[in-house]
Structure 1
Amino acid sequence: MILLFFSIILVFSTISILTSALVLINSSRISYGISVNNVPLSGLSKEAALEKLKQAYAKITETSELVQLHYQDQSWSIHPQDIDFKIDMNATVNKAYLIGRNKNILQGFIDRADSAINGKELPVTVTYDEDKLKTILRNIAKKTDHPSKNAECNLSAKGELLITPEVLGQVLPIDEVADDLKNFITTVDLPKSIQLTLTESPPQITTNDLKSIDTILSSYSTKFNNGNYNRSENIRIAAASLNHVISKPDETTSFNALTGLRLAESGYQEAPVLIDGKSVPDIGGGVCQVSSTLYNAILLANLKSVERTSHFYPSAYVPMGLDATVADHLLDFKFQNNLKHPIYLLTQVSQGTLSIYIAGNHEDFSLYKISLQSIVDKTTPPSITFNYDKTLPTGRRITVDSGKTGYTVSAYRLKLQNGQEIDRELLHTDTYSPENKVILIGTR
Structure 2
Amino acid sequence: MEQKYLHFRRQKRHHLKRMKRRRMATVAGAVVLICFIILGFLPTFGIISPGTNYCGKSLGFLTVKGAEKKLNKYEKEFQTAEVVLTHKKKSTTLTPPQLGLSVDEEQVAMDALAESRGRRFFGRMGQVFKKEAVQTPLAVDEATLNRRLRDLNGVLYETAKPATVAMKGERAVILPGNKGEVPDTAKARADLSRGIQSPVEIHTRIMEPAIEAQELAGIDGKLAEAVTTYDPADENRTTNVENGARYFRRIVLAPGEKLSFLSTIGGITEAHGFVKGKTVSNGVETEGIGGGVCQVSTTMYNAVARSGLNVMTKFNHSKAVPYAKEGLDCAVSDGYKDFIFANPFTKPVYIETTAKEGTLTCTIYGPAEEKPYTIDLVPEKVRDLPASKEVAYSTDLAPGEIKILRQQVDGSIYITYAVYSVQGRELRRIPVAKSRYVPVDGKVLVGKGK
Which category describes the TM-score, using the shorter chain as reference length?
Answer: 0.5 to 0.7
Equivalent-residue separation in structure 2 for 1:162 and 1:422 (angstroms):
29
Q: Do the aligned partners of residues 270 and 159 (structure 1) sit closer, same or farther apart at CA in structure 2, a change above 3 Å counting?
A: farther
**Secondary structure of residue in 1 paired with 2:218:** coil
- In structure 2, runs of 5+ residues without a counterpart are 1-86, 90-138, 187-202
1:263 pairs with 2:274: no
CA contact 1:154–1:346 (8 Å) conserved in 2: no
RMSD between aligned alpha carbons? 4.8
- Residue 425 of structure 1: aligned partner: 430
- Residue 166 of structure 1: aligned partner: 177
- Residue 153 of structure 1: aligned partner: 165
- Residue 312 of structure 1: aligned partner: 318
How big is the shift at 1:229? 2.6
Q: Do the aligned partners of residues 140 and 406 (structure 1) sit closer, same or farther apart at CA in structure 2, a change above 3 Å counting?
A: closer
- Residue 381 of structure 2: aligned partner: 376
- Residue 222 of structure 1: aligned partner: 228
Kindly provide the CA deviation profile for residues 94-119 of structure 1, in whole angstroms up to 9, marking residues without a partner as x. Answer: xxxxxxxxxxxxxxxxxxxxxxxxxx
1:401 counterpart (371, 385, 406): 406
1:173-322 correspondence runs (5 A): 201-322=207-328
Equivalent-residue separation in structure 2 for 1:140 and 1:318 (angstroms):
39
Equivalent-residue separation in structure 2 for 1:146 and 1:417 (angstroms):
45
- Residue 441 of structure 1: aligned partner: 446
CA contact 2:170–2:221 (8 Å) conserved in 1: no
- In structure 1, runs of 5+ residues without a counterpart are 1-70, 74-131, 176-196
How big is the shift at 1:255? 1.4
Equivalent-residue separation in structure 2 for 1:388 and 1:266 (angstroms):
47
Equivalent-residue separation in structure 2 for 1:205 and 1:147 (angstroms):
13
Greater Cα offset, 160-169 or 415-424: 160-169
- Residue 17 of structure 1: aligned partner: none
CA contact 1:271–1:286 (8 Å) conserved in 2: yes
Q: Do the aligned partners of residues 395 and 199 (structure 1) sit closer, same or farther apart at CA in structure 2, a change above 3 Å counting?
A: closer
1:412 pairs with 2:417: yes
1:336 pairs with 2:342: yes
Equivalent-residue separation in structure 2 for 1:216 and 1:163 (angstroms):
12
Q: How many residues align?
A: 327
**Secondary structure of residue in 1 paired with 2:299:** helix
How big is the shift at 1:380? 1.3
Kindly provide the CA deviation profile for residues 315-361 of structure 1, in whole angstroms up to 9, marking residues without a partner as x. Answer: 22112122111122332111100112111112243443322111112
CA contact 1:387–1:439 (8 Å) conserved in 2: yes
Question: What's the TM-score once normalised by structure 2's chain length?
Answer: 0.58
CA contact 2:353–2:361 (8 Å) conserved in 1: yes
Equivalent-residue separation in structure 1 for 2:304 and 2:149 (angstroms):
44
**Secondary structure of residue in 2 paired with 1:387:** strand
- Residue 77 of structure 1: aligned partner: none
Kindly provide the CA deviation profile for residues 59-93 of structure 1, in whole angstroms up to 9, marking residues without a partner as x. Answer: xxxxxxxxxxxx999xxxxxxxxxxxxxxxxxxxx
- Residue 195 of structure 2: aligned partner: none
**Secondary structure of residue in 2 paired with 1:300:** helix
CA contact 1:144–1:172 (8 Å) conserved in 2: no
Q: Do the aligned partners of residues 387 and 284 (structure 1) sit closer, same or farther apart at CA in structure 2, a change above 3 Å counting?
A: same
Q: What amino acid is aligned across from residue 410 of structure 1 in structure 2?
A: I
1:78-157 correspondence runs (5 A): 148-155=160-167
Q: What amino acid is aligned across from residue 429 of structure 1 in structure 2?
A: K
Kindly provide the CA deviation profile for residues 250-281 of structure 1, in whole angstroms up to 9, marking residues without a partner as x. Answer: 00011123333333454433221113432122
Q: What amino acid is aligned across from residue 176 of structure 2 in structure 1?
A: P
Q: Do the aligned partners of residues 226 and 198 (structure 1) sit closer, same or farther apart at CA in structure 2, a change above 3 Å counting?
A: closer
Q: Do the aligned partners of residues 253 and 421 (structure 1) sit closer, same or farther apart at CA in structure 2, a change above 3 Å counting?
A: same
Kindly provide the CA deviation profile for residues 283-303 of structure 1, in whole angstroms up to 9, marking residues without a partner as x. Answer: 321110110111011111111
Kindly provide the CA deviation profile for residues 352-397 of structure 1, in whole angstroms up to 9, marking residues without a partner as x. Answer: 33221111122122x3331111111110111111122220134443
Q: Do the aligned partners of residues 418 and 442 (structure 1) sit closer, same or farther apart at CA in structure 2, a change above 3 Å counting?
A: same
Q: Do the aligned partners of residues 148 and 439 (structure 1) sit closer, same or farther apart at CA in structure 2, a change above 3 Å counting?
A: same
Greater Cα offset, 250-259 or 223-232: 223-232
Equivalent-residue separation in structure 2 for 1:323 and 1:440 (angstroms):
34
**Secondary structure of residue in 2 paired with 1:237:** helix
**Secondary structure of residue in 2 paired with 1:242:** coil
CA contact 1:410–1:426 (8 Å) conserved in 2: yes
Greater Cα offset, 431-440 or 202-211: 202-211
How big is the shift at 1:215? 1.3
Question: What's the TM-score once normalised by structure 1's chain length?
Answer: 0.59
